[in-house]
A and B are shown apart, each in its own frame.
Chain A
Amino acid sequence: MNPNDLQIAEIWVYLSGSPLFALILTLTAYQVGSFFYQKTERNPLANPVAIAVILVAIALYLLDMPYQKYFEGAQFVHFLLGTATVSLAIPIYRGVAALKARVFPLLIALLCGGVVSIVSAVGVATFLGADSAIIGAFYPKSVTAPIAMGVAERLGVSPTLTAVFAVITGIIGAILGSHILNLLGMKQWWQRGFAIGVAAHGIGTSRAFAVHPEAGTYASLAMGLHGILGALLIPLLKNYI
């Protein structure tokens, strides 16, 4: 090894050991993901989180860096999940006027949708013989990811699988949502938005905002309320069914 190589190796050892590297990697990957998302005019398939996860995974593979080491550095980002969860109170508060106008139908629909989202996913996965670790992550996956991961941790379910399933759920909902609602002949924007928000949390909500502001408001409200309901409902269903 010549002295130059040695120096580069030393720099690499220093950088890869500090949280800076994991933070730069995470944020750069997200930046690239957001770039593609904007370029494709916010196509749900070009989801910035999905792109970022794939890019970071490839980078770790090429650099031969163990996941645990990456996570140690990136946990500063991870920590903010709890803080972001608390801040969801503000979008829910903005939707309170919308909720007050139709509190009864919205809450009943939310409860039905919330129960169906869990029972259908867990039911199909169990019927098809999936592993128990995977089935466990299907309980919280329809709730907005920061809350879903918090619930998963409490239930001893993998937050990783929960986050991945939650993102895929959001993408599927954002792609199929409008078609399903058209087939059902749903005409009211508030009903369409609310259904998307219950089923496809944040990713569905940003899709709803792109289609119509009223749909977006109700989707955002549905996502927040489903988060609170999920934190109560998921442990109940998981432990007693």
Chain B
Amino acid sequence: MIPGLVQILLWQGLGELISHFFLPIIPGPVIGLVFLLIFLIIKGHVNPSLTLVSDAFSQHLGVLFIPAAVGVILFLPQLKANAFAVIAALLVSVVATIVVTAVVLRFISKKDSS
């Protein structure tokens, strides 16, 4: 598990450096993700240690955003005042995104196969 974690931290560090000096608009970890992805595609396989770390993170990803999300207690009055707009925007956005993605996908792949 440790070699995998070290590798991920190094990619993260490289991503942070590039973000800091050249691409401040993109978060460092996202740049690290893209580098690691390219590295894996070139290498053609994932070593078990990396898989172990990645699976641990993806199974319990949720726990990592609890500290920030608890901050919602500071926004409660604001959210209450905007409750209708928030609920409407979230509902419309989810439904619209599913519908558009699904319909576009079906339309293009039909055209593709015919």
Contact = CB atoms under 8 A, between A and B. Distances in A.
A192 B102 contact: yes
Interface of A: 22, 26-27, 29-30, 47-49, 52-53, 56-57, 60-61, 67, 70-71, 74-75, 77-78, 80-94, 96, 102, 104-106, 108-110, 112-113, 116-117, 120-122, 124-125, 128-131, 133-134, 138, 141-142, 144-147, 149-151, 153-154, 158-161, 163-169, 172-173, 176-177, 180-181, 184, 186, 188, 191-192, 194-196, 198-200, 202, 222, 227-228, 231-232, 235
Interface of B: 5, 8-9, 11-12, 15-16, 24-30, 32-34, 36-37, 40-41, 46, 50-51, 53-55, 57-58, 60-75, 78-79, 81-82, 84-86, 88-106, 108-109, 112
B97 A128 contact: no
A70 B67 contact: yes
Contact of A125 (B25, B33, B36, B85): B85
B54 A77 contact: no
Contacts of A89: 11, 33-34, 36-37, 40, 54
A67 B57 CA distance: 25
A108 B102 contact: no
Given A146-B61, A191-B109, 15 more contacts: A60-B70, A85-B30, A87-B53, A105-B108, A113-B98, A117-B97, A120-B93, A130-B85, A149-B65, A159-B68, A167-B65, A181-B102, A184-B102, A188-B106, A195-B97
Contacts of B60: 30
A234 to B, nearest CB: 10
A104 B98 contact: no
Contacts, number: 307
7 contacts: A26-B66, A77-B63, A83-B5, A87-B58, A113-B98, A130-B82, A146-B61
Contacts of A227: 30, 33
Contacts of A57: 70, 72-73
Contact of A96 (B41, B67, B74, B93): B41
Contacts of A70: 67, 70
Given A116-B100, A147-B27, A232-B26, A160 B93 contact: no
A24 B109 CA distance: 49
Contact of A160 (B25, B51, B54, B72): B72
Most buried by A among B28, B30, B65, B81: B65
Given A91-B58, A199-B97, A53 B72 contact: yes
Most buried by B among A131, A160, A222: A160
Contact of A109 (B5, B11, B95, B105): B105
Contacts of B108: 104-105, 108-109
